[in-house]
Amino acid sequence: MRDFRFGVNLLGVEGDFRDQVRAVEASGADVLLVPDHLGLIAPFPALVAAGQVAQRIQLGTFVLNAGFYSPALLERDAGTTNRLTGGRLELGLGAGYVADEFEAAGIAFPSAGKRVAHLTDVVQHVKTNAPDLPIMVAGVGNKVLTLAAQHADIVAFSNIPNIDTLAERVEFVKEAAGERIDDLELNLIIFELAIDREPNLSTLRQMQPDATDEQLMESMNMISGPLDDVVATLTMLRERFGVTYFTVIEPDETALADLARLITALRSESTS
C-alpha cells in the first residue's frame, strides 16, 4: 500500500510567491504545484523559482492545459524545467475546458473529443521523449480517465460530488488500467480543507451551483471535521479505493496549518 502524499497548488496571484513556497515546504507537504490559467502565475518560470528556494519538495503542474502547447515545445519546456530543478518535476496535464481562455490566447477552442485527442498526443510524445518524467492526467470523464489509466503515472479525479461517484470512477479506472493498476497513484483534488472548524463551501458551490449545503458536504473534493475523523477518512480512502495523494488548492494560512497538523498526525500514526 502506498504512503500518503500531499500536494499544495499555489495560484501565485497575491503575496510573495517565494515566501508561499517556503511555507508549503515547512508544512511537510510533498509536492508544490502550480496551475495553468491566464491571469495566474506562469507555470514553468514559477516552478524554476520555487526550485531555487525549496530544496526538498517535489514540483509539479496541476495541471497544464495541453491545448495551449504543441507536444514538442511542451516536452522541451518540461524537460528544461526538470533539469533546472534537479529532476523534481511531475508533469500534470489536462485537456483544457475554459473556452474564454482559448479565445484570449488566440487559439481555437476545439470540441471535447479533439481536446482529448490532443491531450493524448501530448502524453504520448512526452512519454516517448522523456520516459522518466512522471505524468499526471486529471479529469473525470471516460475518455480522459481511460487515457490516464492506460498511459499516466498519476490519475487525478477533478470533480467527485460524493463517495458513490468516487467508487464508480475508481472502478472505471481499474478496469481501463488492467494489469498496470498497481503502478498508478490515485489523486483527489481538495478545494477546501478545514480541521476542527466549519468549512467554507464557496468554491465547491461554484462547481455545483444547484447543490444544497448538505450535498456539498458530501463532496470528496473537501476534507473537513475533527482531526481524528479526518485521519480515519483518509485511511478509509486509501484502504477502500487506493487513493493516497491529495492536492489542496490555494490554502490560506489557516488551511495550511490544518494540512501541517494532518500530515503530522498521519506520519505519527504510520510510525506507531
The number of folded domains in the chain is: 1
Confidence of residue 3 (pLDDT cuts 50, 70, 90): very high
Mean pLDDT for the stretch of residues 111-124: 96
DSSP 2: P
Percent of the chain with pLDDT over 90: 95
Q: Which is it for strands 5-9 and 222-225: parallel, antiparallel or unpaired?
A: unpaired
* % pLDDT > 70, the chain: 99
257 phi/psi in degrees, rounded to 5 = -65, -40
Each residue of 31-42: pLDDT tens digit? 999 999 999 999
H or E element at residue 136? strand 135-139
What are the residues facing 31 on neighbouring strands? Answer: 7, 58
Task: Note the pLDDT tens digit of each residue in 70-99.
Answer: 999 999 999 999 999 999 999 999 999 999
pLDDT at 272: 62
pLDDT at 207: 86
* pLDDT mean over 229-247: 97
Rounded distance between C-alpha atoms, residue 2 and residue 189, angstroms: 18
Residue 4 has pLDDT above 80, yes or no: yes
Q: Which of 116-125, 128-137, 200-209 has the lowest mean pLDDT?
A: 200-209
pLDDT in tens, 178-228: 999 999 999 999 999 999 999 999 999 998 899 999 999 999 999 999 999
H or E stretch including 195? strand 192-195
Distances (CA, A) of 211 to 135, 162, 193: 33, 12, 19
**Residues 150-176: tens digit of each pLDDT:** 999 999 999 999 999 999 999 999 999
The model's pTM: 0.95
How far apart are alpha carbons 27 and 5 in whole angstroms? 12
What is the average pLDDT value for the chain, to the nearest integer?
A: 96
Rounded to an integer, the average pLDDT of 7-18 is 95
pLDDT band for 270, please (50, 70, 90 cuts). confident
Dig out the grid coordinates for 178 from the structure: 488492467
Output the CA–CA distances (angstroms, integers) from residue 124 to 15, 93, 127, in the order listed.
37, 12, 5
The secondary element (H helix, E strand) that includes residue 207 is helix 202-207
Rounded CA gap, 127 and 122, in Å?
9
Per-residue pLDDT band at 145 (split at 50, 70, 90):
very high
pLDDT at 60 over 70: yes
The answer to whether 21 and 51 have CB atoms below 8 angstroms apart is no
Q: Which domain holds residue 99?
A: 5-271
pLDDT at 269: 78
Return the CATH number at 241: 3.20.20.30
How far is Cα 119 from Cα 94, in angstroms, rounded to an integer?
Answer: 7
Report which of 136, 184, 190 is spatially closest to residue 159, judged by C-alpha positions.
Answer: 190
